[in-house]
Structure 1
């Protein structure tokens, strides 16, 4: 089977399973991948992304097969907080009042 044939038969559901396997080193059921299996999964993920990834994230393969490297400024804009107060600030135990008081 060549790369073209492989990209035609990978379903979005199969892609998600392959992506999970690549990211974790295990199949969703928990079985560990061998290095050979992981290498094959990485290739299949990259092939699928090269055909279907129209909105690439930082460090992915974009549709057309190009490696997408988004600049930091674009990533900052993408993850920019709507409100500066969205960050939860937690006091450390040293600065918290004692419960005995």
Structure 2
């Protein structure tokens, strides 16, 4: 299977599982990945992002295979816009 076929065979659900595996070192069911499996998952995630990632985060692979970096000011602006999505918790209340 070539890279294009691999990218086209990855569904959004599979992509989420791969991202979870790369981030945690285990599958969602809890089975640990070997280093080789984790490396392969990372490559698949990067390939998928290179084709489908139109809203790249701080350091990701954007559409077209370009590495995308956001400046500190861009990230601050994005986080400020997302503040409404954050639930506030007052740790002083019992």
**Same fold, TM-score > 0.5, yes or no:** yes
TM-score, normalised to structure 1's length?
Answer: 0.80
- Displacement of 1:2: 1.1
1:61 equivalent to 2:66? Answer no
For residues 31-50 of structure 1, the aligned pairs below 5 Å read: 31-50=31-50
Larger C-alpha radius of gyration, 1 or 2? 1
Q: Which residue pairs with 2:12 in the alignment?
A: 12
State how far apart, in whole Å, the 1-side matches of 2:37 and 2:15 are.
14
Structure with bigger helix share is 2
Unaligned runs of 5+ in 2: none
**1:45-98 deviation per Cα after TM superposition (whole angstroms, max 9, x unaligned):** 000000000010110110111111000010011112769xx976766xxxxxxx
